[in-house]
Structure 1
Amino acid sequence: MTPIALITGASRGLGRNTALSIAHAGGDVVLTYRHKADEAQAVVAEIAALGRKAVALPLDTGDVDAFPAFVEQLHAALHATWQRDTFDHLVNNAGHGDTAPIADTTVAQFDRLVDVHFKGVFFLTQALLPLIRDGGRIINISTGLTRFAYPGYAAYAATKAAVETLSVYMAKEFGARGIAVNTVAPGAIETDFGGGLVRDNVEVNAQLAGITALGRVGVADDIGPMIASLLGEANRWVNAQRIEVSGGQAI
C-alpha cells in the first residue's frame, strides 16, 4: 500500500521540497497551505507529473478552533482519493519567522509564534491521531537555533525547543501504537523564510557559510530528501531523536 504523508505548510520552501522528495521516493501527499492556493495546486501538479497522487487543503495551523473541520475535510479527501480512512506520516512543518530582541518582542508576536509553532503542533497532532495508522511516523520540524543562539530569535527558538521536548513525549505515549516520532532541526537555509534573509542578504549568507563546517548555507534540497529518507522503512527504528541538518553550523 502506497504511504500517504500529510505535510503542513507545503506550498513553498522546505514543505514543498519535502512533498516533492516524498513523491520521488514513491509516496503520496496531502499538503496544507494557508493563503496561496495557486502555489499549493502547482505542487499538486508537480507531484502528479511524477506519477503520484496529491491533494491540497487549506489550514491555518495557528487556529486550533479550525482543526475539527479540517479533520473532516481530510477524512473526506482520504476517502475520495485513496479509499482509505487513515494516512501514514505527519510532518508538522508549517511556520513563520518573526524576529525581535527580547526587549522589543510584543505579546502579539509571542502569541502568534506559540500558536503556530507549539500550540498548533500539539493540538493538530492530537486531532489527527485517530487518522494516523498504527506503525506510522511523525516528524516535527524544529531549528538549529535551539542549539546555537542569534539575537532576535528568542521567542521563535523557545517555541521550537518546546516542540523538541513534546516530540520525546509523543514518542513515549504513541509508542504503544508503533508510531515513531522525531524532530528534524534545519540550520540556515536559502528559502523565503524570514523574508528570505539567508537567501537574499549576501552578507548574512556569507557570515553563516563562514561558521558552517561544510562551507555554505543549506538549500531546500538538503532537507526534503533527508525527511523523506527518515520516513522510509530503513529508518523505522529511529525514534525520539533530534536530528540536526545544518552542515555543521556553529560547531
Structure 2
Amino acid sequence: MTSRKIALVTGASRGLGRNAALRLAGRGHDLIATYRQGATDARTLVQEAQALGARAVALPLDLGDSAGFAGFADAVRAALRDHWQRDTFDALLNNAGSGSYATFATTTEAQFDEMLRIHLKGPFFLTQALLPLIADGGRVVNVSSGLTRFSLPGYAAYAAMKGGVEVLTRYLALELGARRIAVNTVAPGAIATDFGGGAVRDNPQLNGLIASQTALGRVGAPDDIGPVMAALLSDDLGWVNGQRVEVSGGIHL
C-alpha cells in the first residue's frame, strides 16, 4: 500500500490541469487524471508522472454529461482498489472546462446551457458523486476566473458560471468542514494556453493588450498557475479554507 496521497485532476491532459498534475506528482502525490478527447496526451501525462515517482492512471470523463458521473465514480472506485488497495483519495481539482466567446446580445441558449453544464452543474454534481470517495481531511480546489472580478465584453455566460463556482466553494467549505475537507477557489487571469482557441497565446495584439494591463507586465503561463493549485491541494496550506485566490499577475488593479 502506498503512503503517497492521491489527487484526482479533471482535464489533466493539457493546459493548467496538466501543469497542476505534474506539480502534484513532484510534490509526492499519486494521480488519477481525467481527459475527454486527449487520450494520447493523457497517456503521455501518466508516463511523465511515473517518471517523477508517482503512480498514475488516466480515466475518460465528459464533464458536460452529468448522467455519466455515477459510472465515473465507479471507475474511480475500481482504480483505487486495483492500483492502490484503497477506497478513498485525498485531493480533487475541478479544473476541466472550455471557453466560449459571445457578446451578451448574441449568446444563444445552447451556448449558455453548455457553459452551465461544464462549468457549474458539472463541478457541482461531480463533486457530489465523488464525495464518498474523498478522504476525511482532504482538499478540494475549484477553478474560477479573473473575469468574476473584472469584466470584459464577450464572456457574460462563462463568467456568470464561474461566479456560481465561487459561491459553491464557500458552501462546500462550510458543509464539508465537519469532515475536515477544505475547499478553495483558484481564479487565474489570462493564460497563454490553447484554452478558448489559444487567442491569448497566439494573438499578439490581445497578448500585448493584456500584458499592458497587468502589473507584472506579461500574460500568465501554466507554470504560474499549476504550483498554486498544487499548494492548495497539499497540507502546506491546510488552514486556508473557503477562499478565492486570484493568480493573475495583478491585472486590472
TM-score over 0.5 (shorter chain): yes
Matched with 1:205 is 207
Distance in structure 2 (CA, Å) of the matches to 1:140 and 1:232: 14
Does the CA contact (< 8 Å) of 2:12 and 2:35 recur in 1?
Answer: yes
TM-score, scaled relative to structure 2: 0.98
Distance in structure 2 (CA, Å) of the matches to 1:24 and 1:207: 34
Structure 2 residue matching 1:188: 3-state secondary structure = coil
Distance in structure 2 (CA, Å) of the matches to 1:183 and 1:69: 26
Q: Match for 2:178 among 162, 173, 176?
A: 176
Distance in structure 1 (CA, Å) of the matches to 2:84 and 2:48: 18
Q: Match for 2:98 among 96, 105, 110?
A: 96
Distance in structure 1 (CA, Å) of the matches to 2:236 and 2:69: 32
Written as runs of structure 1 = structure 2, the 5 A alignment for 1:1-251 is: 1-251=3-253
Instruction: Give the unaligned 5+ runs of structure 1.
Output: none
- Aligned pair count reads 251
TM-score, scaled relative to structure 1: 0.99
Structure 2 residue matching 1:162: 3-state secondary structure = helix
Offset of residue 36 of structure 1: 1.6
Does the CA contact (< 8 Å) of 2:100 and 2:196 recur in 1?
Answer: yes
Distance in structure 2 (CA, Å) of the matches to 1:100 and 1:18: 29
Offset of residue 230 of structure 1: 1.5
Offset of residue 44 of structure 1: 0.4
Instruction: Give the unaligned 5+ runs of structure 2.
Output: none
Distance in structure 2 (CA, Å) of the matches to 1:40 and 1:249: 32
Report Cα offsets for 1:1-53 as digits up to 9, x if no partner: 21111010010000000000001111111010001211110100110111111
Identical columns (%): 61
* Moved >6 Å (runs of 4+): none
Structure 1 residue matching 2:176: 3-state secondary structure = helix
Does the CA contact (< 8 Å) of 2:139 and 2:234 recur in 1?
Answer: no
Offset of residue 232 of structure 1: 2.0
Does the CA contact (< 8 Å) of 2:169 and 2:242 recur in 1?
Answer: yes
Report Cα offsets for 1:43-87 as digits up to 9, x if no partner: 001101111111100000110100111011110011111111000
